[in-house]
Structure 1
Amino acid sequence: MKKNPQTTLIHAPRKAPQYISSVQPPLFRASTIIFNNTDALFNRHWTDDYDYSYGTHGTPTTFTLADNIAQIEGGQYCLLAPSGLSAINLVNSCFLSQGDEVWVADNIYGPNMEHLHNLQTRYGITVKVYNPIDADTFQPTEKAKLIWLEAAGSVTLEFPDLAGLVKKAKQHNILTALDNTWGAGLAFNAFDFSEEHLAVDITVHALTKYPSGGGDILMGSVVTRDRKLHQQLFRMHAIQGISVSGDDVAQVQRSLASMQLRYQHQSQSASTLLDWLKQQPEFVQVLHPADEASAGHSYWKEICTDGQSAGLVSVIFKPEYTLEDIRRFCDALELFKLGFSWGGPLSLVMLYNLKDMRVLPHTHLQQGLLVRFCIGLEHPADLIHDIENALKQLPTQQHE
């Protein structure tokens, strides 16, 4: 029977062969996935490694990126989420119930703390805070279910006593979740980071940063080696309807090949800026894990054996500088653009008031307003010149 042209537009009579070998894998866009027959429909289960049943469960495009991220981080199973914060929320909602206790570092990613405080208000979750460079401040009770780790903290850049914290958590049967965005799976292996082969249970990674590399994609991941944990997460992932765009996934996948090169370049540029920033009289403190004077340096040196560190450097201005002074400095920067995030080609700057961000007293941090530099792919000499010119906007008596 001859079909109406409208029907042939949907059911094309000819199809090109579906698979070829190419540099980049094929891009699949799918909500509905077609089953070949009823056997394929009924002889499947959501726990299958590759469950092709609906777009939210996965496609070859999303599974390819997930497998690659798991490999980079040293894990085995990976789930993708629309953002790093979405990935964090997936972990919290999966493993925390009413009455549970969760421990967070005092330098925790701010939106994670906000989400946990929301759970505390609505569902009776107890949020406890510890000093990341002092494992003795982590004092869990029998209600403790989860501890969040960050290596390093994304603003003040302390590298935590990861070994001490993980050991104590395992002694108390507490789940360990690491925000691994700074290390990106490249600075160290979170699933095997010591001679004792210590490992965290879960890593969360804002793929928005180094894996994307372009400053234009939002995505997150949750990685584990434990199949049971993965299935718990996958079930919550499905219940919450979490999914990502195939086009966005293809963009991140395309960037993975250059991720290590970009990470190393930005790390080296940050090291160059670190040496120069330490010589500037306007700063009372410069923060970077590779610097011997920075909190947690010994932990960084022990774990990040290749000397890698992300392209972040923070400075604390002398306390006599006012907020207006620092704002004038930031506004005078030309190459550094004012914006959140990092890992893209463009260098970024952001200013913070630590008094609004900390619960515990931290004697290792000097008084003053903090500015974080996120190093992009520009030449470090040009970035130094940009900061040097902006410092001239500070009050003369202090600049001299």
Structure 2
Amino acid sequence: MTTDTALPTQLVHHPYRAPAEFDAVPVGVFKASTVLFPNVAAVRQRRWQDKSAYTYGLHGTPTTFTLEERIATLEGGHHCVLAPSGLAAVALVDMAFLRAGDEVLIPHNAYGPNLAFAAVELAHWGIRHRTYDPMRPDDLAMQLTPQTRLVWLEAAGSITLEFPDVPALVAQVQAHNARCASTEAQLRPTVTVLDNTWGAGVAFCGFDLGADVVMQALTKYPSGGADVLMGSVVTRDERLHHALLMTHMRLGLGVSGNDAELVLRGLPSLQLRYRAQDASTRQLAQWMQQQPGVARVLHPALPGTPGHATWRRDAQGAACLFTVVFDDAIPAERIDAFCDNLRLFRLGYSWAGPMSLCMPYDRADMRGRDWPHAHGPVRFAVGLEAVTDLQADLKQALAVLSAA
């Protein structure tokens, strides 16, 4: 650049380039909308779809490509796409695999916004949804029809934490695909997708349990800091990945370099945090079972929780959640007072961050389930505090249940 070039131009088109041989523990954070090409031939030849080059910030940077590869490894898959939230990842899966006239089956204990998206948005586009009992593979088998193109799985179930027999559910879908003789069904077999947010790629591998697609809310364990929203969808099948990738592109879904950095920073400690929170949660869940006013504690590692035997067979961990059902005779306002009296368990949605959380649910939230209790459950998410302090917090708050 000549010295007679004006200063503003020099600052934009500065010739200096830092040396490329910089290596460090953190992954570099690249942020861009525009990606520069050296010549027209590069414009015409570059492909972002296979991560061999860069064309536009929305289609990937070194930071997001690196995170996608690491999440694919975490889940035991081959391909990954990132979405701005866990719910965005759910919507991406639905829109990639469903068309007008199709139907999707969702477990009745699934993540609530998954059901809400199907009931409202998918219905607007002529896509039907129905729920099934995930603890009864025969119920799923009875509900599969030639129009079923997608079956959601979730282990453990949202809020009530039942642990389904995922291989048995997948087997029903595979048998359905084998029986289907129509050309349309042969071209578009029913896809199974597992919400693996609870397992986080640590407790079990969703693909080993038979799922075709595995999604996760990276907001939870992979981040671990309660400071970022993100989701992922992982596949082993190239055809399924291509369908997801093209829908992802057309929707304009993208994640920022700074958010990708936060998840990359959380990944190395993911397994350590998962194990630590798992251990604390089991201790508190077992203790809570013995407390006055508690009718039931739901946690896959507890023998009384539905699916406990399946969890013992298929999983090597149990995450940070447990759910409490209080005695029917306790007034609802006292359960609310119990939640308000907690000091370390703060009221808030989400989980797997450093702070313990509590959230009461109404009986109406147990949609589609035969809920035999007078009150809705209270779900606890155990953080990284000392378990003795958390137990003391629960103990002092429980006193309000029996207050005169």
Partner amino acid for 2:370? P
1:171 matched to 2:175? The reply is yes
RMSD: 1.3
After TM superposition, give the deviation of residue 368 of structure 1 in Å: 2.7
After TM superposition, give the deviation of residue 13 of structure 1 in Å: 2.8
Equivalent residue, structure 2, for 1:196: none
**Which of these residues, 196, 199, 214, is aligned with residue 225 of structure 2?**
214
1:190 matched to 2:194? The reply is no
| Cα offsets for 1:47-76 (capped at 9, x unmatched) | 333441111110110010110000011011
| Cα offsets for 1:197-227 (capped at 9, x unmatched) | xx20111100000000000100000000011
Q: What is the identity percentage for the equivalent residue pairs of Structure 1 and Structure 2?
A: 47
Contact 1:66 1:77 in 2 (8 A): yes
Contact 1:319 1:369 in 2 (8 A): no
Contact 2:51 2:65 in 1 (8 A): no
Equivalent residue, structure 1, for 2:87: 85
Q: How many residues align?
A: 388
Contact 1:50 1:63 in 2 (8 A): no
1:236-315 matches, cutoff 5 A: 236-304=247-315, 306=316, 308-315=317-324
Equivalent residue, structure 1, for 2:166: 162
Equivalent residue, structure 2, for 1:388: 395
After TM superposition, give the deviation of residue 46 of structure 1 in Å: 4.7
| Cα offsets for 1:257-278 (capped at 9, x unmatched) | 1010000000000011011011
Distance 2:249 2:390 in 1: 44
Contact 2:165 2:307 in 1 (8 A): yes
After TM superposition, give the deviation of residue 367 of structure 1 in Å: 4.1
What SS class does the counterpart of residue 57 from structure 2 fall into?
Answer: coil
After TM superposition, give the deviation of residue 126 of structure 1 in Å: 1.6
1:347 matched to 2:356? The reply is yes
After TM superposition, give the deviation of residue 366 of structure 1 in Å: 4.1
Equivalent residue, structure 2, for 1:335: 344
Distance 1:12 1:120 in 2: 50
| Cα offsets for 1:152-207 (capped at 9, x unmatched) | 012000001211110111122320011100000000011113xxxxx201111000
Partner amino acid for 1:80? L
**Which of these residues, 322, 330, 351, is aligned with residue 321 of structure 1?**
330
Distance 1:263 1:46 in 2: 34
After TM superposition, give the deviation of residue 37 of structure 1 in Å: 1.8
Distance 1:120 1:60 in 2: 34
Contact 1:153 1:159 in 2 (8 A): yes
Contact 1:100 1:143 in 2 (8 A): yes
Distance 1:121 1:394 in 2: 43
1:374 matched to 2:374? The reply is no
After TM superposition, give the deviation of residue 25 of structure 1 in Å: 1.5
Contact 2:359 2:378 in 1 (8 A): yes
Distance 2:80 2:219 in 1: 16
Distance 2:133 2:262 in 1: 37
1:152 matched to 2:156? The reply is yes
1:203 matched to 2:207? The reply is no
Partner amino acid for 1:261? L
Partner amino acid for 1:336? F
What SS class does the counterpart of residue 350 from structure 1 fall into?
Answer: strand
| Cα offsets for 1:266-325 (capped at 9, x unmatched) | 000001101101101211110000111100111111101x3x110100000111223311
After TM superposition, give the deviation of residue 96 of structure 1 in Å: 1.1
Contact 2:216 2:232 in 1 (8 A): yes
What SS class does the counterpart of residue 160 from structure 2 fall into?
Answer: coil
Distance 1:338 1:123 in 2: 36
What SS class does the counterpart of residue 234 from structure 1 fall into?
Answer: helix
> Unaligned 5+ residue runs, structure 2?
178-189
What SS class does the counterpart of residue 401 from structure 2 fall into?
Answer: coil
**Which of these residues, 4, 7, 10, is aligned with residue 6 of structure 2?**
4
TM-score of the superposition, structure 1-length normalised? 0.94
Evaluate the alpha carbon distance shift between residue 126 and residue 171 of structure 1 in structure 2; reply closer, same or farther with a 3 A threshold.
Answer: same
TM-score of the superposition, structure 2-length normalised? 0.93
Moved segments of 4+, more than 3 Å: none
